[in-house]
Amino acid sequence: MFRNRKYVLDLSDLQYKQVRIPLEKKLLRACLWIIGSVLIAFLYGSFFEKMFGSPKERLLTQKIESLKLQYSLIGRQLDRSTESLGSLKLSDEIRYRTILDMDSVPETYRRGGYGGIDRFKDLTGYTNSGLIISYRAKIEEIKTRSTVQKESFKSIAERSVEWKRDMDHSPAISPVNVKYRLGDPFKFREVHPVYGTPRMHFGQDIEVPYGTEVYATGDGIIIESGYTSDGFGNFIKIDHGNGLQSLYGHLSSIKVVKGLNVKRGDLIGFSGNTGTSTGAHLHYQIEQFGRPTNPINFFNNDMTQEEFGEMIQAFGSKSKFR
């Protein structure tokens, strides 16, 4: 019970006497102990914080690393979006615009320009400003390119409608089954088979039996139908638009009348031997802006007669004209 008490030997009377510390000294010691403890705790805390960081700093560091990871994932998505836009651009330029005979969209217009204005000034001054600004720039570029691509595809869609119409109206197939042999071509004939004099042959003759089906070679409107005394006999003339007209001569009978709209593959008449002709055949003629041109440049006979028949049947199933 006396282990916390201290005693000293008094040499004057050779007796042990208890050492009593004054209250002021006790208070001073207590204050020094508290100050020392606080100082040691502060030094320890500073050392620990310097070495390992504070809990708040560690939490903020974890959040920063998490944000960096999210930015990295966003960056990959942006790269994939850029690649997708690149693929769309290739389809736009190489496929659609080439086929449709449209001008290319300049690359400077696709990426856009901003005239040197610091658009990202509000993002500067941060630890990861470079990373944030680079991704923001990618987003702005993708937005610009997407808008341009959307408008480009819109113009392509509008042009494709016109292109399809032009293709449908172009006299692009044989007027009779391809199994029949071609006769006199588009050329200057030294001896006309009827008149016996030199004369230009402005069409393509096709050697077909009497009564062979004759089809419209492209969409258009019948502008002439009937008999003419200028050598074609019973004939039909179709205006296809874009300066193109097709003529079918020496027919035995006609199935259409002037003013009627026809589709490619519609049956319009039957071959014959009317007009200036020495035998049953079809005279097929193409005029471009009023000038006769070689019809063979508008169709070919590479398909089989079965394929030609299937094609005519397919055209007929879509036509309103019977």
Over residues 60-101, the pLDDT tens digits come to: 777 877 877 887 788 888 888 888 888 888 888 888 888 888
197, 229: one domain:
yes
Domain extent, residue 70, equals 58-169
Helix, strand and coil content of the chain, in percent to the nearest 5, comes to 45, 20, 35
Domain membership flag for residue 2: no
44, 95: one domain:
no
Listed residues 118, 144, 169: the one ending a domain: 169
10 Å Cβ neighbour count for 133? Answer: 16
Over residues 198-214, the pLDDT tens digits come to: 778 889 999 999 999 99
Tokens 């044989």, residue located: 174
Listed residues 139, 169, 199: the one ending a domain: 169
The pLDDT score that the predictor gives to residue 49 is: 64
Parallel, antiparallel or unpaired: strands 233-241 and 220-228: antiparallel
Residue 52 region, left (φ>0) first, then alpha (ψ -120 to 50), else beta?
A: alpha
Asked if 111 and 138 touch (Cβ cutoff 8 Å), the reply is no
The pLDDT score that the predictor gives to residue 52 is: 60
32, 151: one domain:
no
223, 307: one domain:
yes
Q: What distance in Å separates the CA atoms of residue 133 and residue 110, rounded to the nearest whole number? A: 20
Strand partners, 269: 214, 254
Residues (pLDDT < 50) of the chain are 1-2, 322
Q: What is the pTM of this model?
A: 0.62
Q: What distance in Å separates the CA atoms of residue 263 and residue 260, rounded to the nearest whole number? A: 10
The whole-angstrom distance between residue 27's C-alpha and the CA centroid of its chain comes to: 87
The pLDDT score that the predictor gives to residue 222 is: 98
149, 26: one domain:
no
46, 63: one domain:
no
The pLDDT score that the predictor gives to residue 322 is: 46
The pLDDT score that the predictor gives to residue 137 is: 82
Split into its structural domains, the chain has a count of 3
69, 157: one domain:
yes
Nearest to 220 by CA among 199, 203, 245: 245
213, 297: one domain:
yes
Domain membership flag for residue 242: yes
44, 74: one domain:
no
